[in-house]
């Protein structure tokens, strides 16, 4: 197992979704439906990524790990353990609900899973914002009163974003994504979300969506005030570093290379701008088809046992996610 793994996207209909994955990333979407999420890499009981090319085409990520855990994740990885990351594209045509994911200290009691995630802003409409954390000085008492008064937005930290910005959103941090953002979300493998507020919206069935106010109030970190995003930059560097994973932004000029050695750790590679070719310069590296192109929007898994060289066709920006095994 030395080839990179590319997967079929799993498209999810959402009331706040749209068609930007089609227009911005060239995806072929189910007709006539608001597609809010594309699950790119996932290993969960309710959702499985399917390998779309190469020797393991048609196999689920779970099946690949059961058969080749040591090659994919490293020699100490139990074959029964789920892949620890989940990668999604989010098309936020409308504002998402105000929500929180339970921190580890309360997740088990609430029968949920903690989830720390990173948002990379690939595209925004004019004046798009994110809502993350509390405004400085807001107390739990003020927050609860604002829920009853329908004024909760006044308690939440807002900031404008542009393409290339990113922010790490930790478990326990209240948050929402504003309308007009196309986001790559790289997160822990979890699907526990508590909605505390939904702006008076109804779901696809025409009924108000379920809220989880009690669970949210128990999960929110009440001293989390006004976190700052990592702003776009033309240079390489770390954009997220937490206990669960690290993400590096890698900026390549035309003809420049990124080399990933074998035997270190598994990694995820996300192409957020431009395009690269795998082994296109003829160097030793991936056993994937010579010159295989990875276009903007692609997310691939680089196994522990593989060595890879990526060459930029023009200026490209890659995200390398590591330290999750």
Active-site residue set: 195
Phi and psi at residue 33, in whole multiples of 5°?
A: -125, 145
Backbone angles phi, psi at 15, to 5 degrees: -65, -25
Cβ neighbors of 114 (< 8 A, separation 6 or more) are 101, 102, 103, 104, 107, 171, 188, 190, 192
- Tell me the two tokens of residue 309: 């060289």
Give the single-character DSSP code of 223: T
Q: Which residue is it, tokens 């937005």? A: 153
Q: Measure CA of the first residue to CA of the last residue in the chain; give whole Å.
A: 17
Both structure tokens of 169: 């959103």
What Å distances lie between residue 101 and 37, 112, 115, CA to CA? 18, 9, 6
In angstroms, rounded to a whole number, what is the distance separating the alpha carbons of residues 288 and 157? 45
């Amino acid at each position: 197992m030395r080839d990179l793994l590319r997967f079929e996207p799993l498209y999810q209909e959402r009331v706040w979704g749209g068609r930007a994955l089609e227009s911005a990333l060239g995806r072929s979407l189910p007709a006539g439906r608001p597609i809010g999420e594309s699950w790119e890499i996932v290993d969960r009981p309710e959702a499985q990524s399917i390998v779309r090319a190469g020797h393991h085409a048609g196999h689920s990520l779970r099946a690949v790990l059961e058969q080749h855990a040591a090659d994919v994740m490293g020699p100490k990885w139990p074959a029964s353990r789920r892949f620890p990351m989940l990668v999604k594209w989010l098309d936020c045509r409308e504002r998402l609900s105000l929500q929180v994911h339970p921190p580890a200290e309360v997740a088990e009691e609430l029968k949920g899973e903690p989830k720390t995630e990173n948002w990379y802003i690939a595209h925004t409409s004019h004046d798009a914002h994110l809502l993350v954390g509390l405004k400085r000085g807001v107390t739990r008492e003020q927050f609860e009163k604002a829920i009853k008064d329908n004024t909760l937005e006044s308690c939440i930290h807002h900031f404008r974003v542009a393409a290339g910005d990113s922010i790490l959103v930790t478990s326990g941090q209240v948050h929402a994504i504003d309308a007009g953002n196309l986001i790559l979300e790289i997160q822990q493998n979890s699907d526990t979300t508590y909605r505390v507020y939904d702006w008076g919206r109804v779901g696809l069935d025409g009924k108000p969506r379920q809220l989880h106010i009690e669970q949210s109030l128990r999960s929110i970190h009440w001293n989390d005030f006004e976190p700052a995003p990592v702003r776009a930059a033309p240079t390489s560097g770390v954009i997220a570093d937490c206990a669960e994973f690290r993400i590096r932004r890698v900026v390549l000029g035309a003809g420049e290379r990124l080399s990933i050695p074998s035997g270190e750790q598994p990694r995820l590679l996300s192409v957020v701008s431009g395009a690269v070719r795998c082994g296109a310069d003829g160097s030793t590296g991936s056993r994937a088809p010579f010159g295989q192109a990875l276009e903007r929007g692609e997310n691939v898994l680089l196994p522990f046992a593989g060595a890879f060289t990526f060459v930029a066709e023009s200026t490209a920006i890659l995200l390398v996610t590591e330290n999750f095994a």
